[in-house]
Amino acid sequence: MFIWDAENLSHIARHKISQEEAEQVIQNGPLDLERQILNGEERFLHLGETLAKRVLFVVVTERDDLLRVVTAFPADRKARRFYSLKKDAAYAKGSKDS
């Protein structure tokens, strides 16, 4: 599902993010925040949480039907609050639909 190489692993490590954390964010149903085209490559900005509840931004691109993490970094306080509000609203909506 993911493509990793020395370049993206070292890049996220500079932000104190592990490979596992970045993958967890994508696998845990993150918020899709933005789509960009950069140098002809489509990139997606996601905001989500790890299994340890750490809220992170993760930017991915698709290559050969696999996801390559371009970068990942911790969410600031404002982004964590935004994520919490959106997550709570989605949970509340899901509870009403049951």
Residue-wise pLDDT tens digits, 48-90:
999 999 999 999 999 999 999 999 999 999 999 999 999 888 7
Q: Tell me which residue range forms the domain holding 34.
A: 2-97
- Is the model more confident about 97 or about 18? 18
Contacting residues for 48 by C-beta, under 8 A, at least 6 apart: 25, 26, 28, 29, 30, 31, 55, 56, 58, 83
DSSP 44: E
Q: Note the pTM of the prediction, 2 decimals.
A: 0.90
Strands of the sheet containing 66-74, edge to edge, are: 2-3, 66-74, 55-63, 41-49, 31-38
**Count: domains in the chain:** 1
